[in-house]
Amino acid sequence: MNKIVNYTLAIFSVLLLVVAVLIFRPVPIVTEDKAITEISVGIGVFMNQGNILRN
């Protein structure tokens, strides 16, 4: 009986930790979109430089 309680508490604490990390992530989801946008802008600038060099 005591082992079952310990296993239940261990599983519950791990699940609680996972939920807490997902809710209180230090990195918000918006920064991923921002990083993708910055990479796209960098690629666009790089492509424009290539076009300028061809002209």
- The contacts of residue 19 (CB under 8 Å, 6+ apart) are none
Domain of 19? 2-54
Give the tens place of pLDDT for each residue, 2-54. Answer: 888 888 888 888 888 888 777 776 655 555 555 566 666 666 666 665 555 55
Q: How many domains does the structure of the chain reveal?
A: 1
Angstrom distance (rounded) from CA 47 to CA 55: 13
∠ CA(4), CA(20), CA(26), 5° rounding?
A: 150
- Other CB atoms within 10 Å distance of the CB of residue 2: 6
Q: What would the pLDDT profile of 1-13 be if each residue is shown by its tens digit? A: 788 888 888 888 8
Residues counted in the chain: 55
